Structure 1
Amino acid sequence: MTTENIYGNLQGLKPNQLKQLQKLYHQRIRSDRLTTTELAERIAAISTDLKQPVCVYLNRRGQVIRVGVGTPRQTQIPPLELPRYGAERLSGIRCLATSLKSDAPSEACLTAMARQRLDALVMFSLTGGGVMRKGGGASGFIKDTYLAHLLPISENDTYWEVSSPQDLEDLAEQDFLDLVDSLEAEFSREFIAQDVSSQEDKVLLVGLMTAKMTEQKFQDSLQELALLVDSAGGKILATIEQKRSNPHPQTLVGAGKVEEIALQVQTLGANLVAFDRELSPAQVRNLELQFGVRVVDRTEVILDIFAQRAQSGAGKLQVELAQLEYMLPRLTGRGQAMSRLGGGIGTRGPGETKLETERRAIKKRITRLQQEVNQLQNHRSRLRQQRQQQEIPSVAIVGYTNAGKSTLINALTNAEVYAADKLFATLDPTTRRLTITDKNTSESRTILLTDTVGFIHELPPQLVDSFRATLEEVTEADAMLHVVDLSHPTWESQINSVKAILADMPLAPNIELIVFNKIDKADSEHLETAKNNYPQALFISAEKRLGLETLRSRLVNF
C-alpha cells in the first residue's frame, strides 16, 4: 500500500484507515453538484474513525484530486501546484472538510480557502457518532453543514461569505456551477473596473522595521520603495508592514505575516511581492513557495529600473554586469537537487549539471564584461585627458536620484538631456559645454558640466562596482555641484546618503557647491532651515529658471 497521495498528518494511522482514505480517490460526483450525501457521509465516517479532520479536494469535473488528514490549512495545496488563474478567476478546486467541533469554519480555514482561491469550502461539523453501513457507507455522522466562498473585495475588506448551518440534503441539491459562474462574473467585473494593464506588475510592498530603525527612517525607506516600484512600471495594490526585533532567518517576516501577505496576494490579484531590504536566496525561495508569485527585493527593483533606462551601449554593458553579479550568488538558492558536486555515491564522474553549466557561463560573461568596462574606463580616461590638455575646467553634477540634475544641465546649456519626474530617469553621463561671461572682466569662460547617475540610499554594491566608469567622471572633475531636492521631506537624509557614497570614492573633488533645487515647491520651514544650516549654498528652481544667473556667477569663480 502506498500512501504518497495522502497528505497531512499520517502518523499512527492503521493500514485499513489508509486504505479507506485511498479509496476516496475513486469517488466521482456530478460536475454541477458541490457534494453528494453519500460522499459527505463517507468522509465524515473516516474522519470520525481517525478522530482527525479530513479534507477532500475536487476539480470541476467532480473528480477527487487530493486527500489530506488535517484542517484545510494543514492540507492546502502549495501555490506553485495550483492551476494558473487570473484575478478574475477561481482555481477550479473545491474542498470538502470535516470539523470535530460543532463550529463554522475558522478564520484559519477561510484564509486557506482564500490562499488557494478555492471555488468553495464545504465544512461538515461532526456529531462524534454514527452507524457504519456494510460496504463502507455511514449514517448519522454529520450535524451541521456550512458553505463558504470568496467575495470580490469590498470597501470593508470582506474576503469571504459563510452560510448559516444547512441541511446536507439541501446543500447536495444546490447548483454548484451556477454558483461558480456568478462568482467569477463578479470577479471579472471588478477586474475590468480596476483597469489594470496586463503588461504591468501588480505589486504588494512589504516593509520590515527592526529595533535598530527609527519610525521616520522606516517610513521614508518604504515610501522610497514605492517610488522605485512606480518608476519600474509597477502598480502598487497595498503596503504591508511588520515590526520585529530581528529579521526572520527563513522568511524575513514572521509566520503570521507570511500568511497575511499570501492572503493579500490571492484576494488582490498581485503577481509580485517587493520587500524593502535585501533578501537571501533561501528567503526568496521560501517566500515564493508560500506566495506562488515572484518575490523581489529593493536591489532587484533598482536593477530593473536601470535595465529599462540604459540607452547607450556603455550603460547597457554596465547594467548587464550589475545584474549578473547580483544573480551569480543566487543560483545556489535553487537547492541541492540541481547540484551533483556534494560528494558521495552517484555524484562522482564526468559531466556537470545545468546549475554548474549556468554558473560557469555567467562567470565567463562577467569576466568579459569587466574587461569591456575596463576598456570603457580607458576610453573615457583618454577623453578626459584631452579635455584637461585644453585646460577646460570640469564640474560634475551629483545628487540624489530625481533631484533635478538633468533639468538643471538643460536649463544652463540649452541641452536636450532626457529629464523626467522619475527615479533614475537618466543613467549615462552627459557632458555639455557652458560658456559664461564674467561681468567684472567681460571675458568669456568655458566649463564642462557632466550630468552623472543619481545616488540613492544604500546604493547596491553591484551598481557601485559596475558603474565605476560612470562614477569616475566625479572623481576626475575639478569641482562638484551637489544638487538637492529641497521639496523632498527627507532632503537632509538624502544629502547624508550622497556624502556617504562620495566619501567611499577615491580622490573626490574637494570643491563642492550645494545647490538647493525646486524652491518653488519647497516648504517655507525647510527653506529657512537650509539657509541657516548651509549659508554658502544657492537656492534655485531649474524648472522655473529661478536663480540661474547667480549660479552662473558662482561657476565663473570655480
Structure 2
Amino acid sequence: MQKVYGNIQGIKASHIKQLQQLYEEQQPADRFITPEFAQTLAAISTTIHHPICCYINRRGQVIRIAVGTPNQTQIPEAELPRHSAERLSRIRCIATQFKSEPPDTAALVAMVSQHLDALVSLSVANNQVQEAFLVYLAPDLETPWIVSPPLSLADLTEQDFSDLITEWEKDIADAGGIISPQDNFSDQDRVLLVGVQTDNISAQRFEDGLIELVRLVDSAGGIVLDTMRQKRSHPHPQTVVGKGKIEEIKLAAQKVGANLIVFDRDISPSQARNLEKEIGLRVGDRTEVILDIFAQRARTQEGKLQVELAQLEYMLPRLRGRGQEMSRLGAGIGTRGPGETKLETERRTIQRRIAQLQQEVNQLQAHRARIRQQRQQQEVSVVALVGYTNAGKSTLLNILTNAEVYTADQLFATLDPTTRKVVITQPETQERRTILLTDTVGFIHELPPSLVDAFRATLEEVIEADVLLHLIDLSHPAWESHIASVQDILQEMSAIPEKDLIAFNKIDRVDSETLAQAQEKYPQAVFISATERLGLETLKQHLLQLIDEPVEAVAVTQNSY
C-alpha cells in the first residue's frame, strides 16, 4: 500500500487504510476535483479530526496523501517535478480545513515555495464540504497569489482546470515568472536570526547581542532578512525554542526566502540536528558565524592553522546525521575555511588531523616564545593592544607606527598579530624611546572556547607584554558591556601584565554627555580619536610613564578597572 505522509500518530489503522485507498481515485484532467472525491476527503478529515492534503498531478493521479496543513505537508524540493520561475510544478493541492475562511499565510507561502498549480481549500464540517476557496499564483502582485471568494462545491467542480492552468501559465510567462523572495538576492546566505532571551539575560544585553549578531552575519558575507525573538526561562533542551515557535520560524523563513537560520547563542549538535529536521533548512549558531569570519580573514599560515583547528574541534561532534540533503560542503556561512573539505570525512581521520594541528600550534607557541625572549634580551618594552572587536586597534597601530595593517569597519577585520616599533620623544629630555606595539585579535562577548584554545599561541602575546593598552570604542552604545567582556576574557588567562591603560577611542563621534560619563567613571583613562589624531601624544606619554613606573607602585595606585 502507498505511504500516508504527515502526522499519523494516534490515527487508527482502519482510517490509515481509508487514506491509502485515496491513491486509487483517478480525477479528471480537466477538473480540479470531483464532488464525490471532495466529500470523501471531508468525511475522513472530520472522522480523524485532522486536516488532510491530497496532491494531484495534471493527469489526475493522486501522488501524495498527507495528514496536516499545506505548510506541514509540503513536498520536498527533491521530489517535486522540475520547474522554473515561468512554469508551475504541475501539481495541485486539495486541502481540508475546519474553518470557514481563506487559507492562512502559512498555506499560501507553502504554495508559492512549491510553485503549485493551485491550492483548493475545502472548509468541512459534519462530514460535508461547506464551501471552498481557490488559490492560484499571480506574478504581478505584491503577494504572488490570488484567493477567490467563497465558492460552493458545485461551482468549484464545474470549472475547467485545463483552460485555467493554460491561462495562468501564460500570464506568469508574460510577466517574467514568479518572483520568489530568494530571487531578490545574490548567492549570499539569506539569514533569519532567532534570539532567545532567558531569565539570566537582561533586556538590554539581549538586544545588544542581536544587534551584534546582525553585524557578525554581515561581516561573514550574509544578509539578515528578519529577526525573531522568544522569551523563555531556559532554552528547550531538544530544540532551544518551543514547538510553536519552530512553526513560526519555518513560516517566516519561507516568507522572506531564508536559507539559513542562525541562533544568538551556542546550540548543541543534537539541538541543531533536531531543528534542521523540523525546519528543513541549515541551522547555525553565533559561534559558527564567528568561525566563518575567522576562516575568511586568516591571511598568514599560522592564522589559517589556528582557524582550521578551531573549526574542526567545533564541527567534530556535529558530523553525525549530515546527509546529502544537509551537506555542509559548498559555499556559505559555516562552510568555508581550510577545514571545509574534511567535515564529511571519517571521525578518526579528523581526530588525527586535530592532533596534528595541536602539535603544530604547540610548535608555533615555542617559536613565538623564542621571539619574545629575543625582545626581552634587547630590553625593549612591549605594549599589547587589546579590546573588543572593531574598537579601532589596527587603525591606532597604523597611525602610531606607519604600518599598513588591513582595517575595515567590520568585526574581526584583522586576526593575525602584528608587532611594530613606536618611537616616543620625552618632552623634558628630548630623549627618543622605542617601544613595541602588538596588535592582537579582537575580543567579543563570550568568545568561543574553541577559538580561545586554538589562538593560545597568539593570545600569549598579551600574557608576555609589559603593558596592556585596552582600547574602547566610546561611540558604541554598549561600550560598558564591551569593557566587561574584555575583562572576563583577560581574567580567564593564566597571567596578564599588572600594568594597564584604558584608552577611549572615537571621541569625535560621541556627545558631551557620554564623554563626561566615561571621564567621571575612568579618571585615569586617556581619550583619543585615532582617525582624527586627537590625544595621541598624550597617549604616548602615558604609556612611557606606565612603562617606567615600578610594578609595586602600579599595584598600589591602579584603579582603572
Task: Report TM bin, short chain.
Answer: 0.7 to 0.9
Deviations 1:171-224 (A, max 9, x none): 4445124335645876957569985222x1111111111122111010001111
8 A Cα contact 1:125 1:142, kept in partner: yes
Relative to structure 1, is the Cα distance of residues 270 and 82 closer, same or farther in structure 2, using a 3 angstrom cutoff? Answer: farther
Task: Give the alignment partner of residue 483 of structure 2, picking from 490, 495, 508.
Answer: 495
Counterpart for residue 118 of structure 2: 120
Give, in angstroms, the shift of residue 36 of structure 1. Answer: 3.7
Counterpart for residue 436 of structure 2: 448
The answer to which of 93-102 and 82-91 deviates more is 82-91
**What TM-score do the two structures reach when normalised by structure 1?**
0.84
The answer to which of 265-274 and 319-328 deviates more is 265-274
Alignment of 1:251-262 (within 5 A): 251-262=239-250
Deviations 1:501-544 (A, max 9, x none): 00111120010000000000123222111100111110000011
Counterpart for residue 352 of structure 2: 364
Counterpart for residue 278 of structure 2: 290
- 2:86 and 2:303 mapped to 1: Cα distance? 40
Counterpart for residue 371 of structure 2: 383
8 A Cα contact 2:112 2:180, kept in partner: no
> For 1:287, what is the secondary structure of its paired residue?
helix
Counterpart for residue 401 of structure 1: 389
- 1:356 and 1:97 mapped to 2: Cα distance? 40
Relative to structure 1, is the Cα distance of residues 147 and 425 closer, same or farther in structure 2, using a 3 angstrom cutoff? Answer: same
Give, in angstroms, the shift of residue 5 of structure 1. Answer: 4.7
- 2:528 and 2:16 mapped to 1: Cα distance? 82
Give, in angstroms, the shift of residue 437 of structure 1. Answer: 1.4
> For 2:216, what is the secondary structure of its paired residue?
helix
Task: Give the alignment partner of residue 68 of structure 1, picking from 62, 66, 69.
Answer: 66
- 1:80 and 1:324 mapped to 2: Cα distance? 30
- 2:442 and 2:83 mapped to 1: Cα distance? 39
- 1:471 and 1:168 mapped to 2: Cα distance? 71
Relative to structure 1, is the Cα distance of residues 101 and 310 closer, same or farther in structure 2, using a 3 angstrom cutoff? Answer: closer
Relative to structure 1, is the Cα distance of residues 239 and 440 closer, same or farther in structure 2, using a 3 angstrom cutoff? Answer: same
8 A Cα contact 2:103 2:121, kept in partner: yes
Alignment of 1:77-116 (within 5 A): 77=75, 93-99=91-97, 104-105=102-103, 109-110=107-108, 113=111
Give, in angstroms, the shift of residue 64 of structure 1. Answer: 3.0
8 A Cα contact 2:415 2:441, kept in partner: yes
- 2:226 and 2:84 mapped to 1: Cα distance? 18
8 A Cα contact 1:115 1:262, kept in partner: no
Give, in angstroms, the shift of residue 48 of structure 1. Answer: 2.0
Gaps of 5+ in 2: 324-341, 548-561
The answer to which of 366-375 and 94-103 deviates more is 94-103
Gaps of 5+ in 1: 130-140, 336-353
Task: Supply the AA of the counterpart residue of 2:23.
Answer: Q
Alignment of 1:63-462 (within 5 A): 63-72=61-70, 75-77=73-75, 93-99=91-97, 104-105=102-103, 109-110=107-108, 113=111, 118-126=116-124, 142-149=129-136, 161-166=146-151, 167-173=155-161, 175-179=164-168, 182=171, 196-198=185-187, 200-332=188-320, 334=322, 358-462=346-450
Deviations 1:355-384 (A, max 9, x none): 996110110000000011011111111111
> For 1:498, what is the secondary structure of its paired residue?
helix
- 1:15 and 1:306 mapped to 2: Cα distance? 52
Deviations 1:258-287 (A, max 9, x none): 111111211211111111001111221122
Percent sequence identity is: 58
8 A Cα contact 1:44 1:98, kept in partner: no
- 2:28 and 2:140 mapped to 1: Cα distance? 31
8 A Cα contact 2:4 2:67, kept in partner: no
- 2:268 and 2:176 mapped to 1: Cα distance? 35
Corresponding residue pairs, total? 519
Give, in angstroms, the shift of residue 453 of structure 1. Answer: 0.1
- 1:208 and 1:239 mapped to 2: Cα distance? 11
Counterpart for residue 54 of structure 1: 52
Task: Supply the AA of the counterpart residue of 1:464.
Answer: V
Relative to structure 1, is the Cα distance of residues 74 and 496 closer, same or farther in structure 2, using a 3 angstrom cutoff? Answer: closer
Counterpart for residue 3 of structure 2: 4
Does 2:43 align with 1:44? no
- 1:322 and 1:382 mapped to 2: Cα distance? 24
Task: Supply the AA of the counterpart residue of 1:284.
Answer: A
- 1:486 and 1:543 mapped to 2: Cα distance? 14
8 A Cα contact 2:15 2:44, kept in partner: no
